[in-house]
Structure 1
Amino acid sequence: MKMTIVNKSIKIGNLEIKGVGSSSVVLIGDTESITSSSYFDTPADSLIFSPHIPLKPVKKATYDNI
């Protein structure tokens, strides 16, 4: 198999990303190294910082709820 690759310059004027999936990478041109980063849009008041794990009480099985 014979392959010829010609690298030329590339100019990006504007890049608009409308949505991001759970795992997304955007590569433009040659990439020598890739750095991983993550951003979360979770509201701060929905985070719980506590050593305790909230547990839901377990109902005992009876003939009424089986």
Structure 2
Amino acid sequence: MKEYPPLLTKSEALELTGLQPHYLDRLRKMNLVKVYKLQGTTRRSECRYYKNDLLKHLKMDEQGNYKEYD
């Protein structure tokens, strides 16, 4: 299983979660997940998604599997 860093690029976040790109952008724009914006750039692609926050919002574990409920 691939290990992901704490800050994910958009492509890594899409690979880990299996989301569609427009849905991931919507989560970012609505401030539902924490995003780190790189300094000195205005491009949308220059941001990183916090892995733990993204997985918590989607109720997934570290491997990208959905958690089971009791």
Shorter-normalised TM range: under 0.3
Larger radius of gyration: 1
* TM-score normalised to structure 1 length: 0.20
Structure with more of its chain in helix, by fraction: 2
* TM-score normalised to structure 2 length: 0.19
Which structure has the higher relative contact order (CA within 8 Å, separation 6+)?
A: 2
Structure with more of its chain in strand, by fraction: 2
